[in-house]
Amino acid sequence: AQSVTQPDIHITVSEGASLELRCNYSYGATPYLFWYVQSPGQGLQLLLKYFSGDTLVQGIKGFEAEFKRSQSSFNLRKPSVHWSDAAEYFCAVDGADGLTFGKGTHLIIQP
């Protein structure tokens, strides 16, 4: 069965600092991978997706993610975070079992 692990429940980053949110997946075939963001009181919004091709994918709001097959990872990065990036971030894999989400990482931005 497919699964997604986000090892960090909470991450605190200073405004202007770089960010990396970790995501590891388990899936037998080539995965389709996604990052979603959930702002307080809102639904989920797609940040970016990986289907095939270039392993570095660009998303909205200045985010990018890199697919590393050898590490079964799809980490989300941003070079300089803004206070408005404070939110819950979900990694997801789309496979034979449909869309499976990780448990989320809560991002806190320090002034």
Partner 1 sequence: EAQVTQNPRYLITVTGKKLTVTCSQNMNHEYMSWYRQDPGLGLRQIYYSMNVEVTDKGDVPEGYKVSRKEKRNFPLILESPSPNQTSLYFCASSFLQGALFSPLHFGNGTRLTVT
For partner 1, the binding residues (CB under 8 A) are 6, 9, 32, 34, 36, 41-46, 49, 51, 90, 92, 94, 98-99, 101-104
Q: How far is the CB of 109 from partner 1 (least distance, A)?
A: 20
Q: How far is the CB of 106 from partner 1 (least distance, A)?
A: 10
Judged by DSSP in three states, 43 sits in coil
User: Using CA atoms, how far apart are residues 49 and 51, in angstroms rounded to an integer?
Assistant: 7
- Find the length of the chain: 111
Q: How far is the CB of 25 from partner 1 (least distance, A)?
A: 13
User: Using CA atoms, how far apart are residues 63 and 65, in angstroms rounded to an integer?
Assistant: 7
10 touches 76 (CB < 8 A)? no
Q: Of 19 and 104, which CB lies nearer to partner 1 in the complex structure?
A: 104
